[in-house]
Structure 1
């Protein structure tokens, strides 16, 4: 199993850059960034934009892969996404993981006057957007005459540095899992090992229906994490996040690593660590190093 990080974009750029540079030097596989413009709890709070941040990180790192988790096709035309992706893949010498999603954040769409639409409409729009992105990244010219997007004899040059930029799709609904089976290289969802296993069975069934090997799709997940030697703090963290419906892990570095290792047993290829509850500055780097060492130990 690979191990990656997912920092928040609500911190100052120098701090974010230092964190990712440290992860680059210490063996973490990928850094992922979210695609939001407004924080949930404080809309006035600063929040760095995903595509600009990832381009800057491409120049500030040497080894670590760079991923979006995930770009919404409701925020940017897919032709814009494709041209951005090709450029960042060139800038990073082939380190981009292009994560895409159908969109879900209602208050953000309302604030910016962007149409979100019904769940069915979102999936339809997403499938069209994928056709535009994949065509532009791989074909000399692309034409898509859809309901939501129309591109005609469109070019995207230069092409990415990689022969094939991995397309990651975030999904958990039955229809979107079908889209993953048909179009994606990687699949991501939040959840506990049991929740991931449940949705993976649906994905596998979609793959079998269309004649695709289910294991040709890499699987990734993430959860809230607190590294602490204080049992009381760990329990409070689990209780706090248990009410939100999002998976959470808390305990010493060794205990957290052991629980993360359980994801490998349900076929997860990559675990993505949220760094938001690891503190800041030197404290965060120490926690990251301690957890990294513990995770390596689980692999041996």
Structure 2
């Protein structure tokens, strides 16, 4: 049986009336999930309404019973991973375990320039994502205080309270298809993988590569 979810580009004119209607109709029509992008604005003008991601997902969590949901994906280039872990745990609890935390490195230059964030080069983006994943994973999984000394993030005896009702909190999804950078992070941290804009043959090849990497790491594809 195939489960079909919806993904909404939130920066393309998403408002409260539209989001409320989407949530209600996705639930009523039997879709498995409702996911959305996380951007301040478009990569190119014109700028359009872009309802804030966490606030909109909080509404969904409280106004649906079945839908799985989450960001597809939240860029750690402008989302603080410590706060994201805290928000995701709370949303997962509120929804009785329906949150999927989609994470990515960030890619859109324009929104970072407009709002004063440093996107960085590929190495910077991916090393920052790796640190963010480590921080988020530790905070969600550890009942003991967490200390972490990284280049981008530091924790000094931090504990998320209340602890997630679901052991380990929400599942982690990683967006990105690069064999050098993204797939090793999927193998290490994620239970779900998302990649876009690949032709069917290219996707099949990339998925097979990921399967081999998972098997080599002792994980089931």
Q: Which TM-score applies when normalising by structure 1?
A: 0.68
| Rounded Cα–Cα distance in structure 1 between residues aligned with 2:134 and 2:175 | 16
Please point out which of 178, 183, 196 is paired with 1:173.
178
Please point out which of 194, 198, 202 is paired with 1:188.
194
| Rounded Cα–Cα distance in structure 1 between residues aligned with 2:46 and 2:216 | 43
| Rounded Cα–Cα distance in structure 1 between residues aligned with 2:33 and 2:199 | 21
Give the count of matched residue pairs: 214
> Within the alignment, does 1:134 sit opposite 2:134 as a pair?
no
Deviation at 1:40, TM superposition (A): 2.9
C-alpha deviations, 1:46-89, integer Å up to 9, x for none?
11111111111111212111111001111121101011111111
1:161/1:14 CA distance change after superposition, 3 Å? farther
Q: Which has the higher helix share?
A: 1
Q: Secondary structure at the match of 2:4?
A: strand
| Rounded Cα–Cα distance in structure 2 between residues aligned with 1:194 and 1:177 | 18
Query: Does the aligned pair in 2 maintain the 1:94–1:160 contact within 8 Å?
Result: no
Q: Which TM-score applies when normalising by structure 2?
A: 0.91
Deviation at 1:187, TM superposition (A): 0.4
Deviation at 1:161, TM superposition (A): 2.9
> Within the alignment, does 1:146 sit opposite 2:150 as a pair?
yes
Partner of residue 212, structure 1: 219
1:203/1:115 CA distance change after superposition, 3 Å? same
Please point out which of 16, 19, 23 is paired with 2:22.
19
Deviation at 1:160, TM superposition (A): 2.5
Query: Does the aligned pair in 1 maintain the 2:69–2:99 contact within 8 Å?
Result: yes
In structure 1, stretches of 5+ residues that fail to align are: 216-300
Structure showing greater Rg: 1
1:92/1:118 CA distance change after superposition, 3 Å? same
> Within the alignment, does 1:161 sit opposite 2:165 as a pair?
yes
C-alpha deviations, 1:192-225, integer Å up to 9, x for none?
3222112112212322332322x2xxxxxxxxxx
1:43/1:132 CA distance change after superposition, 3 Å? farther
Partner of residue 2, structure 1: 3
Deviation at 1:100, TM superposition (A): 0.4
